[in-house]
Amino acid sequence: MTDYYSYGTSGLNTASMKPSVRPQDDLFQFTNGTWLDNVEIPSDRGRFGAFDKLRENSEAQVKAIIEDLAA
């Protein structure tokens, strides 16, 4: 599975880009097209993006730390 939330050394997420679209025709689809085609927004949310995924990952890491300390 492709990780649409990973960024390369350039800081660009090339996995989410859609190279079949020319950037001069539709920059938004070129930049985000593959992500839009493959990522499902959870039904309990009105939006979902990289910052939401970052928050989820951070919460899971904090929970793991707390559980380790409690054990």
Spatial separation of the C-alpha atoms in residues 16 and 33, rounded to whole Å: 7
Is residue 8 in some structural domain? no
Model pLDDT for residues 13-67, shown as the tens digit of each residue: 788 889 999 999 999 999 989 988 988 888 998 888 878 888 989 999 999 999 9
Is residue 54 in some structural domain? yes
Count of domains for the chain: 1
Quick one: CA torsion of 16, 19, 24, 28, rounded to 10 degrees? -20
Is residue 61 in some structural domain? yes
Is residue 6 in some structural domain? no
Is residue 9 in some structural domain? no
Is residue 2 in some structural domain? no
* Domain span including residue 29: 14-70
Model pLDDT for residues 24-37, shown as the tens digit of each residue: 999 999 998 998 89
